[in-house]
Amino acid sequence: MTAIDYESKIPNNVDLSSDRRLQRALEHWLPQYIDWWKEMGPTDFNNNDVYLRTAVSVDSDGWAQFGYVKMPEYRWGIFLADREKDRKIGFGDHLGEDAWQQVPGEYRNWLRRIIVTQADTEPASVEQQRMLAHTAPSLYDMRNLFQVNVEEGRHLWAMVYLLQTYFGKDGREEAEELLERRSGNPDHPRILGTFNEPITSWLDFFCFTMFTDRDGKFQLLSLAESGFDPLARTCRFMLTEEAHHMFVGQTGVGRIIERATQIMNEHPKDDPRKHGVIDLPTIQKYINFWSSSSNDLYGGEVSSNSANFFGSSLKGRAWEQKNYTEHTGLDQMKEVTVWQDGKLVTEQVPLRNAMNEVLREDYIEDNQKGVNYWNKILDKAGIEDFRFRLPHRRFNRNIGSFAGLHFDIDGNPMSASEWEARKDEWLPSEADKAYVHSLMQKCVEPGKFANWIAPPPKGINDQPIDFEYVRL
Ligand SMILES: [Fe+2]
Ligand SMILES: [Fe+2]
């Protein structure tokens, strides 16, 4: 295990003190980052003590410690998974060569683009979620929100470290721009669409952490075996933190479902909304929105970028070593359905060009497990006439072959006018949003939960559920 140096201004396990130039660059960036956090983070809670976990090692067990921290004083730092001795590149044109410790000149621009795109999502999500604490359904949930926020902040640090260390002046400029773009700002937006969508309710937040943070998981998995070793090691440690974010999302939606089923069983004849909970069809619509938007994050179905990134050994598949025996991706075809000349066409494309689709398929399969978990809650409650589902991958897409077209929830093409007439069946309508927003009232007495969400089965780090997770 590589020890983490917590004595230095920037906690790290990369021996930062031995590289003066880099240390200065990061120390120069630190106050800018803190300014960004104070402006665009959960600003109104900068002075509260929050029961947070902080990484203290990069071992998979026992890597974190818990304690009260004021968020702007959180020890953001740079933690890379340990270096594997004599690591070889596991896929692409450089299969079998030594993993790179420096950026290969010919791939510099692609690599920078990959890192900047990943980096940009991290502060974006903090910005999207910055007002939510004002309507927290409990201290437990508020604390989980803040935990996700500070770790997304740390993920930005992780990526900025790579930019500052390996990309010279360009990297420093990129690092500054990462603090200048703003989620949802029409003139200076974040790079990817989903990260400009407003998160205005806790149902949005839980769907986001379920579906959009899970996209993060798959992007990180595809980079965790990158030929560029510092990126691989960075992503491997980020994955450890990411698991909690998806836990927050999956169980958060689950607890909303659980509460709805309680009301449905108590008042089988009533509209659940009459009792102040979120009805199952509305939850389904939020699932449809966030999962379809997150499907876009994988890019086009057929893509020369994906072929370049895989071929150059920069970005592989999820679990490349574990799940595949062939790692060049050459001389293989993949069946991909696209929209051509006004109809759906299934064609064979070279596998490397279909790597976005490969990753998206793995992602969708993982999402389905979460949906199955929610349906078990319905089973347990004895609800028989409703089951959650994922929308078809063609549904509501803005990127790739199906962008700008219209498909129903099962992926059947439809006209723009049919879509207009029916879209409120599948996506949250203005009335649905107004109803969900009407429920968003702060509930912050220790151990109390808003009426629309069930308490969790247990607290954080073995603390009781009525623990004072945030001192207000
Ligand atoms: Fe992240
Ligand atoms: Fe995350």
Distance from residue 213's CA to the centre of ligand 2 (Å): 5
Q: What is the DSSP letter of 212?
A: I
Residues whose CB is less than 8 angstroms from the CB of residue 147 and which lie 6 or more positions away in sequence, other chains included: 50, 52, 53, 244, 248
pTM, full prediction: 0.97
**12 and 78 in contact (C-beta within 8 Å)?**
yes
Sign of the C-alpha dihedral computed for residues 228, 234, 237 and 239 taken in this order: negative
Q: Quick one: which ligand is closest to 153's CA?
A: 1
User: Phi/psi at 229 (nearest 5 deg)?
Assistant: -60, -45
**If 0-12 CB within 10 Å is exposed, 13-18 middle and 19+ buried, where does residue 285 land?**
buried
Ligand 1 center to 335 CA (angstroms):
31
Q: Which two tokens stand for residue 436?
A: 């969900």
Q: State how far the Cα of 48 lies from the Cα of 34, in Å rounded to an integer.
A: 16
C-alpha angle with apex 248: 242 to 251, nearest 5 degrees?
130
Mean pLDDT for the chain overall = 96
C-alpha distance from residue 16 to each of 69, 84, 337, 433 (Å): 24, 19, 48, 47
**What pLDDT does 1 receive?**
47
Give CA–CA dist 224/315, Å, rounded.
8
Instruction: Give me 420's structure tokens.
Output: 């207009």
Calculate the alpha carbon distances from 285 to 56, 203, 343, 402 in Å. 40, 11, 27, 20
How far is the C-alpha of 469 from the C-alpha of 456, rounded, in Å? 14
Q: How far apart are CA 258 and CA 373, in angstroms?
A: 11
Q: Is residue 446 part of a domain?
A: yes
Does 9 map to a domain? no
55's enclosing H/E stretch is strand 49-55
Of the candidates 321, 309, 311, 312, the residue with the CA atom closest to the CA atom of residue 90: 321
Q: What is the pLDDT of residue 152?
A: 97
Q: Which residues does residue 335 pair with via DSSP β-bridges, in sequence order? A: 348
Indicate which ligand has the atom closest to the C-alpha of 155: 1
For residue 454, how far is its CA from the centre of ligand 1 (angstroms)? Answer: 27
Q: Using the mean position of ligand 2's atoms as its centre, give its distance from the Cα of residue 422 in Å.
A: 33
Give a yes or no: residue 8 inside a domain: no
Percent of the chain with pLDDT over 70: 99
Where helices occur in 267-354 by DSSP H, the ranges are 280-295, 304-311, 320-323
pLDDT value, residue 58: 76
The confidence band for 5, taking pLDDT boundaries of 50, 70 and 90, is confident
- Distance (angstroms) between ligand 2 centre and the Cα of 440 equals 23
**Cα(127) to centroid(ligand 1), Å:** 13
Residue 136 carries which side chain, given as an amino acid letter?
A
Q: Is residue 344 part of a domain?
A: yes
* Ligand with the closest atom to the CA of 144: 2
Burial of 219 (0-12, 13-18, 19+ CB in 10 A): buried
7 located within any domain:
no
For residue 341, is it within any domain? yes
Q: Which ligand is located closest to the Cα atom of residue 235?
A: 1
Q: Given a cut of 70, is residue 2 above it in pLDDT?
A: no
- Give pLDDT, residue 9: 84
The label of the residue with tokens 């909690």 reads: 244
Residue (of 243, 182, 222) closest to 370 by Cα position: 243
Nearest ligand, measured from the Cα of 123 = 1
Domain that holds residue 127: 16-471
Q: What are phi and psi of 116, to 5 degrees?
A: -65, -40
Kindly state whether residue 6 falls inside one of the protein's structural domains: no
Measure Cα distances from 96 to 56, 338, 393 in Å: 33, 34, 35
| Span 65-83, pLDDT tens digits | 899 999 999 988 898 999 9
Q: What counts of helices (H) and strands (E) characterise the chain? A: 13, 5
Ligand 1 geometric centre to CA of 146 (Å): 13
User: What does the pLDDT look like over 177-192, one tens digit per residue?
Assistant: 999 999 999 999 999 9
CA of 215 to the centre of ligand 2 (A): 9
Sign of CA dihedral 196, 202, 203, 209: positive
Ligand nearest to the CA of 124: 1
The ligand minimizing its distance to the Cα of 156 is: 1
Whether residue 6 has pLDDT greater than 80: no
Predicted local confidence at residue 164, as pLDDT: 96
Cα separation, 396 vs 379, whole angstroms: 29
Which tokens belong to 343?
């109809």
C-alpha dihedral (142, 143, 144, 147), degrees to nearest 10: 130
Structure tokens, 288: 């449809």
Q: Looking at residue 379, which CATH number applies to its domain?
A: 1.10.620.20
Counted domains in the chain: 1
Cα of 313 from ligand 2 centre, angstroms: 25
CA angle 440/69/124 to nearest 5° reads: 55
Query: What's the CA-to-centroid distance between 215 and ligand 1, angstroms?
Result: 10
Residue 163 and residue 86 in contact, taking contact as beta carbons nearer than 8 Å = no
Amino acid at 217: K
Q: How far is the CA of 302 from the centre of ligand 1 (A)?
A: 26
Give residue-wise pLDDT tens across range 355-385. 999 999 999 999 999 999 999 999 999 999 9
Reported as type and span, the H/E element at residue 69 is: strand 64-70
Question: Which letter does DSSP use for residue 407 in this model?
Answer: B
Query: How far is residue 381 from each of residues 5, 118, 285, 315, 451, measured CA to CA in Å?
Result: 49, 40, 21, 43, 18
Q: Which of 323, 264, 242, 326 has the alpha carbon at shortest distance from 60?
A: 242
**pLDDT tens across 195-252, in order?**
999 999 999 999 999 999 999 999 999 999 999 999 999 999 999 889 999 999 999 9
